[in-house]
Structure 1
């Protein structure tokens, strides 16, 4: 499974108003492992950059003056993301901008180029309703170091997104834990291939945890007047003689 973590920086907030892409950052995952391959480019948009946008990403018109335009880098970009699944935080924003750039050149949209898109912003809101879902908030939640992120940057944000995405979807690989361990001698399946066993870590309750558990059960029993399945039935009262 090939996935591309993708992020862009732009001249402003809305491609419909003429805003353009000025930076693209992509990081490759293969079977949920970082491969070390990435795609990163700055793009000359041929227009001014909103002051509010510069305050976010720090990219100025002077810096982009000698950078290539989108037409010069589009083939390399398409080659890097082709047939991969894209993982993007707030996907509608980046996809809208990139589709606009592609259409201005008469090229196919991302939906035709890639196998699909996962929006980690939507995923985060589904997993933790009502909680903050910005990339910084998710880094805090999953204890990912982002202290070096003073400004937004497409490649840096794509690298952070890779760590966040792997943490958010960790359960998808839970059944794969331990598959790299060597099987016991002689363990073969019906086809004669070695069987790889998962090792399970057993965690036992401490004495303090058992006592706290007993207190909770006692409180429940009291509120239910002793009508609890885990309690032995009280002996029937003897009839008076």
Structure 2
């Protein structure tokens, strides 16, 4: 079973090292590349106010967060949910940096000790679409993922959108995967039907004299324009080939 968690956070600012904290965690579970509906969504009381710039991005007020649980109160639940999964994150160093800081403050090991690995969809998008904008909104537009409800950033909504984006970016992999419940154990893997080709008669259609002459004329024109340097007119030792 391949279990992946698409993860996103919202924070009070941009720097965990200078005291910014996580205020929202959104996780979407994929098993064998299919949404399971077993998601995790939590708001946290960060015990500090959000920066004005961050507030304009996520719109989560300080007042709204005052009665929410603190991260240490739910850390065990979070780690149990993430345990052994492969995480899918857009711009992974940002979210992982914040999660590691929160875990450190709770006396826990870094995130890598609890998970299978991390896929950074920003890195993946830059490889697939070099030179283009690869924000989540840009990828939604490019891959025709409906993001019309995204007026502000939200961890769960962004994780749901990213799950669709990831599935679209890796759709070619589906042909290589057979889920455990789709075939008996002895039949799992890629199956190729066998055909007996020994009796197959292939029809050979040869070029006519006119077609051969026309082809030779094209080759001569290319050879002339290259100054006699076309490789098919030159022998392996660099001498003009004999026609």
* Superposed pair shares fold, TM > 0.5: yes
Find the aligned partners of 2:50 and 2:140 in 1 and give their Cα distance.
28
1:8 aligns with 2:4: no
- Tell me, yes or no, if the aligned pair for 1:10 and 1:23 is still in contact at 8 Å: yes
- Return the offset for 1:159: 0.3
Structure 2 stretches of 5 or more lacking a match? 194-213, 224-243
Query: What's the counterpart of residue 20 of structure 1?
Result: 21
- Tell me, yes or no, if the aligned pair for 1:8 and 1:25 is still in contact at 8 Å: yes
Find the aligned partners of 2:187 and 2:48 in 1 and give their Cα distance.
65
Find the aligned partners of 2:187 and 2:114 in 1 and give their Cα distance.
41
1:148 aligns with 2:149: yes
Local SS of the residue matching 2:165: helix
Find the aligned partners of 1:175 and 1:71 in 2 and give their Cα distance.
41
Find the aligned partners of 1:155 and 1:192 in 2 and give their Cα distance.
37
Query: What's the counterpart of residue 93 of structure 1?
Result: 94
- Return the offset for 1:45: 0.3
Find the aligned partners of 1:163 and 1:153 in 2 and give their Cα distance.
16
- Tell me, yes or no, if the aligned pair for 1:11 and 1:19 is still in contact at 8 Å: yes
- Return the offset for 1:170: 1.1
Aligned residues: 196
Local SS of the residue matching 2:221: coil
Per the alignment, do residues 224 and 181 of structure 1 end up closer, same or farther by CA in structure 2, a change over 3 Å counting? farther
Query: What's the counterpart of residue 44 of structure 1?
Result: 45
Alignment TM-score, normalising by the size of structure 1? 0.75
1:67 aligns with 2:68: yes
Per the alignment, do residues 124 and 65 of structure 1 end up closer, same or farther by CA in structure 2, a change over 3 Å counting? same
Find the aligned partners of 2:139 and 2:16 in 1 and give their Cα distance.
27
- Tell me, yes or no, if the aligned pair for 1:26 and 1:39 is still in contact at 8 Å: yes
Structure 1 or 2, whichever has the larger Rg, is 2
Find the aligned partners of 1:222 and 1:10 in 2 and give their Cα distance.
65
The Cα offsets for residues 141-197 of structure 1, whole Å up to 9 and x where unpaired, read as 1100000000000000000010000111111112459xx999xxxxxxxx799x967
Query: What's the counterpart of residue 136 of structure 1?
Result: 137
- Tell me, yes or no, if the aligned pair for 1:12 and 1:53 is still in contact at 8 Å: yes
Find the aligned partners of 2:222 and 2:172 in 1 and give their Cα distance.
39
Find the aligned partners of 2:38 and 2:87 in 1 and give their Cα distance.
15
Local SS of the residue matching 1:225: helix
RMSD: 2.7
- Tell me, yes or no, if the aligned pair for 1:29 and 1:35 is still in contact at 8 Å: yes
Local SS of the residue matching 1:140: helix
Structure 1 stretches of 5 or more lacking a match? 183-190, 199-217, 228-241
- Return the offset for 1:120: 0.3
- Return the offset for 1:225: 2.6
The Cα offsets for residues 73-128 of structure 1, whole Å up to 9 and x where unpaired, read as 11111111010000000000000000000000110111001010110001100111
Find the aligned partners of 1:174 and 1:52 in 2 and give their Cα distance.
44
